[in-house]
Structure 1
């Protein structure tokens, strides 16, 4: 009886191929758990408000938005990454707004707010036009007027699963936009190319990993 190692290697290869689908939009994004992060800075003088900052994130990757923070580990990751990699400004805007209807802070991306990290002297008084910034040196949050949001750099976040959109030159560590895959003729665009590639890969797997 032959040892099962060839079959095991085939299985591991298939698993690696499947896991490769979960990736960040480009190498400029930094992964952490099930999300990807990028700090955009540079020529952002045209940003006047939080909505324009959110649009900048959305234009870089489908599903991206200005940063939301789910727990202490993610907050620490952001603080440490600013220290070791991004080296951006002392304060960044968080994707938080104060909902006057519900009298509560909420994330713009509609995720549930289960974690906060207010500075110790932060009061409980909530203002009508209140937004939130993070002090990147300590990871602490501070309430500020939405008119005073720091918009010299924007931290964006997206999930692993995304529709790829290539980054502009304003992204830290970004690369030139890669060209779209050329068409294979009339009626045969990228989807057709993917189908042909998929059939080829399937045939190759059948050759390497024949069924018993």
Structure 2
């Protein structure tokens, strides 16, 4: 009996694990914006490398770069891995080396550089010669060199750069909120199949337990053998005749 209960608990745990996997598959899958532009996923973010027209010289002011991102932020680099990703992917977009605007600005309140979104600058990859001494703090922006990955302080107002990368975080995939008909059917069939198997196992166990209890309660006992009336009379007559 204990082994059967243990099996039932294991089966229930398996069913719960399957349901959790389905929930994670449907609800936690990351996705990039589907706005017609090419977004490259990396880590927890999505990146759009602005290609521009081949025959035109690319030159973007800081304000123009922000406009090109259309509601998303300019590139923010939070780790060495993310910095390396930009270096390695850039040649797939631009033939020559470019200087990419970073989404960094000088915060007058904290008197320090910050990323858009108010996150502090915890990782940096400055060039050795990069210095803020030649620029007013409020006019200080940053560009990343795609060939080296090094950062350089530039003027937010006077300088133009030829590379723009837009960035956004991956969000729960909107398409997954309305799963495809095939995926929905597979999930439903899987759940129904597991519930069906569970019901059959439960029914067989109950039937086995019920059958065992009936046999135990109603064991077969053969009836006492009783002589027929005529036979008993003959026996008594024979005993009477044999008496002297």
After TM superposition, the score normalised by the length of structure 2 is 0.57
Match of 1:81 in 2: 89
Shift of 1:203: 3.6
1:156 paired with 2:166, answer yes
Contact 1:93-1:149 within 8 A present in 2 as well: no
Cα drift, residue 42 of structure 1: 1.1
- The alignment partner of 1:80 has SS state of helix
The C-alpha deviation readout for 1:153-180, integer Å capped at 9, x for no partner, is 320111110787xxxxxxxxxxxxxxxx
Greater relative contact order (CA < 8 Å, ≥ 6 in sequence): 1
Q: Distance in 1 between matches of 2:63 and 2:173?
A: 21
Q: How many residues align?
A: 179
Local SS of the residue matching 1:157: strand
List per-residue Cα deviations over 1:89-128 (Å, max 9, x = no partner): 4211111112234321111232221011110112252523
Q: Which residue of 2 aligns with 1:38?
A: 48
Tell me, yes or no, if structure 1 residue 55 matches structure 2 residue 67. yes
1:96 aligns with 2:81: no
Residues 1-212 of structure 1 aligned to structure 2 (within 5 Å): 14=22, 17-18=25-26, 21-26=29-34, 28-43=38-53, 49-59=61-71, 64-83=72-91, 85-87=92-94, 89-125=97-133, 127=136, 128-161=138-171, 194=178, 203-210=188-195, 212=198
Deviations along 1:49-98, one digit per CA (max 9) or x if unpaired, are: 43442233234xxxx31101111111111111113x22364211111112
Q: 1 CA distance for matches of 2:173 and 2:161? A: 26
Q: Which of the pair has more CA radius of gyration?
A: 2
- Deviation, 1:202, is 6.1
Structure with a larger share of its residues in helix: 2
Q: TM-score scaled to structure 1, two decimals? A: 0.65
**In 2, Cα distance between equivalents of 1:100 and 1:35:** 28
> Where does structure 2 lack aligned partners over 5 or more consecutive residues?
1-6, 199-244
> Over the residues paired in the alignment, what is the CA RMSD in angstroms?
4.0
